[in-house]
A and B are shown apart, each in its own frame.
Chain A
Amino acid sequence: MKLLTGNDLATGDVIWWTGSGWSLHVGDAVDAGAEGEAILARESEARRVNAGYIIDAEQGANGPLPLHIKERIRASGPTVRADLAINTDIPIVRA
């Protein structure tokens, strides 16, 4: 599956495309299918996402999970600061 991600322009927060908007939680993300580039172009133009891009993901037990470790850390927050994490339940290393 394909997820769309980027950063909130004003705050810099990592955000994920939910089908109708953007969420801080990767668990809210949906498969963008073949529409990713078109959605990103539209959302970037409207400044609802900054520096957006498409990533590969798989379905996990609690929702989509990025395949690559870098994206998993973006989704979870820094692994060395649990107090600042978005979601510490995200497995950083693929099973």
Chain B
Amino acid sequence: MYRYDNYDQAMVDARVEEFRDQARRRLAGEMTEDQFKPLRLMNGLYLQLHAYMLRVAIPYGTLSGPQMRMLGQIARKYDKGYGHFTTRQNIQYNWIKLEDAADILADLASVEMHAIQTSGNCIRNISSDQYAGVAADEVTDPRPWAELLRQWSSFHPEFSYLPRKFKIAVIASAQDRAAMRLHDIGLELVKKDGVIGAKVFAGGGMGRTPMVAPEIRDFVTEDEIIAYVEACLRVYNRYGRRDNKYKARIKILVHELGVEEYRRQVEEEFAHMKTLGIDPPVAELDRIRSYFADPAYESGLSEEVNRSDPDFALWLDRNVVAHKQPGYAIANISLKPVGGIPGDATAEQIELMADLAERYSLDELRVTHAQNIVLPYVRKADLYALWKELDEAGLGAANLDRISDIIACPGLDYCSLANARSIPVAQKIATRFAGNGKEAAIGEMKLKISGCINACGHHHAGHIGILGVDRKGTENYQLLLGGSGAEDCSLGQITGPGFDENGIVDAVERVTDLYLAQRSEGERFLDTYRRLGMAPFKEAIYG
């Protein structure tokens, strides 16, 4: 994986000391909160419902063992013993003290991490496929591009004050595991006539106005990707609305201009960009690429896995996926134990995952947008030993992409923007389906819960989505069906009137019962919904 060079380290170290002085001045009364707030937000420090919250960037979700270990140490030393992995492949700490914040940033910098650009109207953490570099189906490894974009977007002077925040995803497989088309810009690396380049999508997003990004360019060669993305951003930066934050995202601009006109303006800007000669040097891309070379895989490894332990066999079937290299597997660690808090891990669990990565996965981990952890390089012969240690630590849930593998935002339990709690609903649904034994029969199910219209819990993209709203001061939950963040991307549709916390759990069960009764052989819930349409589900829900 990528390692900081002297420039990277110097920039991050300087930023820590700059923030240390800013925090000191705020605590000493030399700055007001109005003056300090934008400065702390530039360093990922929010003031949330109960305390300061620090959001730490995990570039394209990739972590080394020492980095993960540091995340655990921070949870123990500065927080209340846990961290929350987010739908943007980051981690958040919910109980941070301002007086500790600079020390935390210094600890992060010591392992080549930071919290820069995890807030504000700038280009946020680049997201990518959690299986990048090891997926059997990828055209090329998307991580060098994600890293190049990270470097290009870090402290980019032109894009530090965009109309609104900006999110970019890069994938390199036909199977989309990163919700690429629900980003402001989505890049799908493809091969055309033997040449690597990118298909470019722009204007996607969730929030109060969800949109699936339309294709803007069917192919741009790899040496021109940065210039093309820059052209997309320049048009947005120039014409994106700054008078209304609810209409300020690029999706609104693309929608209001129309795809054709937005594309025309981007192409015009792109032609101009090409005259400036500011494409990243090929040598730099090659330098970055060298960090992502395949590891020294062992050859002749056994493909056999002993399935005699039924609990292990279940985890193997659910959480382990194919690796491109014979003898290896990709192991998913679910952070969704039944009744637990989606995405939360204790300091001890985080440190254990770091240790397991060191021993079993070439010292590397990935964070997924579904709030789980991936060990990307596990020898098949080690899977049983790995699972035993995970299971003993409460990390052995065998539920990847099942109904209890719920994406949930922190909701009103932690978030000052939320209107309703998300976590208790996730807990009740997971518990209900663990108790009724239907999870296995239902099969693939992506259930996603947001506690407000900002959609951090990706409810628009859930096969079943739940949106918490405030209805006259009480929590109310709307149900959506038919969303997908995958390659068959679609937006869920609201079924009708909302429910209270218990009612929404019953409604979800009525939906899944209808699916189980109506599905064709081998048909996923999403496919049954698309075949039958909303009407029978509404009938089942509301009678």
Known: A10-B97, A12-B95, A14-B49. 10 other contacts (CB 8 A): A12-B51, A12-B97, A14-B51, A69-B475, A73-B412, A80-B341, A80-B421, A81-B341, A84-B80, A94-B474
Min CB–CB distance A85 → chain B (angstroms)? 10
A7 within 8 A of B: yes
Please tell me if B159 contacts chain A, counting CB pairs below 8 Å. Answer: no
Given contacts A69-B474, A79-B424, A94-B473, contact A10 B27 (CB under 8 A): yes
Question: Does A93 sit at the interface, judged by CB under 8 A?
Answer: yes
Q: Report if A70 contacts B (CB, 8 A).
A: yes
* Residues 10-48 of A contacting B (Cβ, < 8 Å): 10-14, 44, 47
State whether B98 touches A11 (Cβ < 8 A).
Answer: yes
Please, which residues of chain B bring their CB within 8 A of the CB of A73? 49, 412-413, 421
B359 at the interface (CB under 8 A from A): no
Judging by beta carbons under 8 Å apart, are B413 and A12 in contact?
no
Inter-chain contact B50/A74, CB cutoff 8 Å: yes
User: B94-130: which have CB < 8 Å to A?
Assistant: 94-99
B98 close to A80 (CB less than 8 A): no
How far apart sit A48 and B50, CA to CA, in the bound complex (Å)? 17
A-B CB contact pairs (8 Å), 9 listed: A9-B26, A10-B97, A12-B47, A13-B51, A14-B49, A14-B50, A67-B473, A78-B414, A79-B424
In whole angstroms, what is the CA distance A80 to B96 when docked? Answer: 19
B residues within 8 A CB of A13? 50-51
* Alpha-carbon gap, A77 to B412, bound state (A): 11
A67 neighbours in B (Cβ, 8 Å): 473
- With both chains docked as a complex, state the minimum distance between the C-beta of B502 and any C-beta of chain A, in angstroms: 12
A residues adjacent to B (C-beta < 8 A): 7, 9-14, 44, 47, 50-51, 67-70, 73-74, 77-81, 84, 93-94
A10-B98, A12-B96, A51-B33 given; A78·B50 CB < 8 A: yes
Of A12, A80, A94, chain B has the most CB atoms within 10 Å of the CB of A12
| In the complex, B300 has a CB within 8 A of chain A | no
B residues contacting the other copy or chain, number (CB 8 A): 29
User: Does chain A have a CB within 8 A of B423?
Assistant: yes
Complex Cα–Cα for A93 and B99 (A): 34
Bound together, the chains give a CA A24 to CA B27 distance in angstroms of 20
Minimal Cβ-Cβ distance residue in A for B46: A12
> A11 contacts which chain B residues (CB < 8 A)?
51, 97-99
Contacting residues, chain A, for B94 (C-beta < 8 A): 78
Interface contact A93-B98, CB-CB below 8 Å: no
Known contacts A67-B473, A69-B473, A73-B412: A7-B421 contact under CB 8 Å: no
B404 sits at the interface (CB 8 A):
no
Question: Do the beta carbons of A10 and B421 come within 8 Å of each other?
Answer: no
The distance from the CB of B505 to the nearest CB of chain A, in whole angstroms, is 15
- Contact of B473 with A7 in the complex, beta carbons under 8 Å: no
A94 to B474, CA, bound (A): 8
Does B427 sit within 8 A of A, measured CB to CB?
yes
Given A67-B473, A68-B473, the answer on whether A78 and B51 have CB atoms closer than 8 Å is no
> What are the 6 A-B residue pairs with the smallest beta carbon separation, nearest first?
A12-B51, A12-B52, A78-B413, A80-B423, A10-B99, A11-B97
Across the interface, B29 reaches (CB within 8 A) one of A47, A69, A77, A78, namely A47
A73 to B94, CA, bound (A): 14
Which residues of chain B are within 8 angstroms of A9 by Cβ–Cβ distance? 26-27, 98
- A14 / chain B contacts, CB cutoff of 8 Å: 49-51
A79-B49 in contact (CB<8A): no
- A77–B97 contact, CB under 8 A? no
Whether B27 contacts A80 by the Cβ 8 Å rule is: no
A62-B487 Cα distance, complex, nearest whole Å: 54
Chain B nearest CB, measured from A11 CB (Å): 5
